[in-house]
């Protein structure tokens, strides 16, 4: 008789499962028995050594080992090319640990979403505080390269106060999963009034906005001049800037970043990627990457921080209109000093920040036109 499919309750409230593989010869049975003690939180009591479940677990373990080896090799190769194999220490997490920390990636644990990844708030038994888990949404080669790049560059920058600290990563999955310190105050956009999905959220004071802008500037300066080779973030924007519980700016997401080789002042790329709103013209039109790409993006971010409004780029062609935009008077149509986020005594400082932000944009326009 063919084996009966389904679940049967047997002794002491245990669970008994028996099945036959459809492809097996007539009368042959592929029986596996899994016994759970339902009276002891479903704890596994016995698994027959010749069961199909055991073979399945071995297959899953083999896949994890393969991913761990491939990701580890890719990580090592990238570290050798970027920083001679040297980096700040970080932890290795298992896939099971992160599943437990996020309750199997429960949608209620989602902290922030971006196009290529999702950030989850999690709790880990080895930490007395929440952690932030970054999981890439696509299972392809591009996501793998982005994740490896993110790990390597984040470990290099871990000691800077304005970089979101990488705690470690998981290499058991096909696309590595990253684990960061948790930014308690959330994304910058929530605190400057540019996130329309947030209602009645407390906005940053004028003083706090200046401190945030200064922190971002310090991090960019460190990227460009604090390491053996200049690193260009290439995707700087409010979405990748978070705030800790003291409202200190924490920059993250180095998945698209690249380093400029020694002896060169730029890198030319064939593939343009990043948030268009903060994309420098010379990069967008010509694929030319220099430190000025980050300067332009910082100018956009600074205007948003000061104005509390989203800065919309003007679509222009890369020739004559670029030069016309660059000739615009920096004080023309400026309404920064009228912002509700500052007092009259702060208007002069506000105006100076206005000039600084526009100078970042104008310098980059000139560079793109040359």
Largest CA distance in the chain: 90
The verdict on residue 342 lying in a domain is yes
Last residue of a domain, one of 142, 160, 181: 181
If you count them, how many residues does the chain have?
Answer: 370
Residues 177 and 199 in one domain: no
Say if residue 165 is exposed, middle or buried (CB neighbours under 10 Å; 0-12, 13-18, 19+). Answer: buried
What is the distance between the alpha carbons of residues 165 and 244, in angstroms, rounded to a whole number? 11
> What are the backbone dihedrals phi and psi of residue 119, each rounded to the nearest 5 degrees, phi first?
-105, 130
Task: Tell me what pLDDT residue 205 has.
Answer: 86
List, for residues 46-55, the tens digit of each pLDDT value.
444 445 556 6
Is the residue at 1 inside a domain? no
Nearest residue to 19 via CA among 39, 40, 42, 48 = 48
Q: Is residue 156 part of a domain?
A: yes
User: What are the phi and psi torsion angles at 234 (to 5°)?
Assistant: 75, -10
Going by C-beta distance under 8 Å and a sequence separation of 6 or more, which residues neighbour residue 352?
none
Q: Which pLDDT belongs to residue 330?
A: 39
290 domain residue, yes or no: yes
For the chain, residues with pLDDT lower than 70 are: 1-87, 194-201, 311-370
348 occurs within a structural domain? yes
Residues 198 and 155 grouped into a single domain: no
- Do residue 359 and residue 242 come from a single domain? yes
Which residue, among 323, 322, 349, has the nearest Cα to 337 in the 3D structure? 349
Assess whether 156 and 220 both reside in one domain: no
Among 139, 154, 181, which residue terminates a domain? 181
Residues 293, 354, single domain; the answer is: yes
Neighbours of 17 (CB within 10 A): 16
- Do the domain assignments include residue 2? no
Asked if residue 102 belongs to a domain, the reply is yes
Q: Examine the domain organization and report whether 143 and 273 are in the same domain.
A: no
Shared domain for 85 and 122, answered yes or no, is yes
168 shares its domain with 240 = no
Domain range spanning residue 44?
Answer: 7-50
State whether 30 and 157 are in the same domain. Answer: no
130-136 vs 177-181, strand pairing mode: antiparallel
Same domain for 136 and 238 = no
Angle (deg, nearest 10), helices 141-157 and 52-83: 60
Domain count within the chain = 3
pLDDT of res. 206: 83
Whether residue 162 is found in the same domain as residue 19: no
| CATH code (residue 265) | 1.10.510.10
Q: Is residue 295 part of a domain?
A: yes
Do 211 and 70 belong together in one domain? no
Global pTM value: 0.71
Which of 181, 212, 244 is the last residue before a domain boundary?
181
């Amino acid at each position: 008789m063919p084996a009966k499919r389904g679940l049967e309750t047997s002794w002491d409230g245990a669970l008994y499962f028996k099945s036959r593989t459809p492809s097996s010869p007539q009368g042959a049975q592929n029986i596996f028995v899994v016994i759970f003690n339902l009276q002891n939180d479903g704890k596994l009591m016995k698994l027959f050594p010749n069961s199909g479940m055991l073979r399945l677990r071995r297959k899953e373990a083999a896949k994890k080992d393969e991913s761990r080896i491939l990701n580890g090799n890719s990580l090592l190769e990238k570290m050798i090319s970027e920083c001679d194999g040297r980096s700040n220490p970080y932890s290795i997490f298992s896939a099971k640990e992160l599943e437990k920390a996020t309750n199997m990636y429960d949608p209620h644990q989602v902290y922030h979403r971006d196009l290529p990844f999702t950030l989850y708030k999690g709790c880990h038994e080895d930490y007395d505080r929440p952690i932030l888990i970054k999981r890439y949404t696509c299972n392809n080669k591009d996501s793998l390269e982005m994740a490896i790049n993110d790990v390597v560059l984040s470990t290099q920058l871990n000691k800077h106060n304005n970089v979101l600290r990488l705690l470690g990563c998981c290499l058991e999955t096909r696309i590595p999963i990253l684990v960061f310190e948790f930014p308690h105050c959330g994304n910058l956009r929530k605190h400057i009034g540019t996130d329309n999905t947030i209602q009645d959220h407390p906005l940053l004071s004028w003083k706090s906005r200046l401190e945030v802008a200064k922190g971002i500037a310090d991090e960019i300066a460190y990227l460009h001049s604090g390491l053996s080779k200049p690193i260009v973030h290439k995707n700087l924007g409010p979405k990748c800037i978070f705030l800790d519980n003291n409202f200190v700016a924490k920059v993250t997401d180095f998945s698209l970043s690249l380093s400029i080789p020694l002896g060169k002042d730029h890198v030319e790329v064939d593939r343009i990627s990043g948030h268009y709103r903060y994309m420098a013209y010379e990069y967008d039109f010509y694929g030319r990457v220099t430190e000025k790409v980050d300067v332009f993006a910082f100018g956009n971010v600074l205007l948003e921080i000061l104005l509390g409004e989203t800065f919309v780029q003007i679509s222009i062609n890369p020739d004559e209109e670029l030069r016309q935009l660059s000739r615009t008077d920096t004080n023309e149509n400026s309404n920064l000093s009228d912002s509700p986020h500052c007092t009259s005594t702060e208007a002069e400082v506000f105006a100076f920040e206005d000039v600084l932000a526009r100078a970042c944009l104008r310098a980059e326009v000139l560079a793109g036109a040359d």
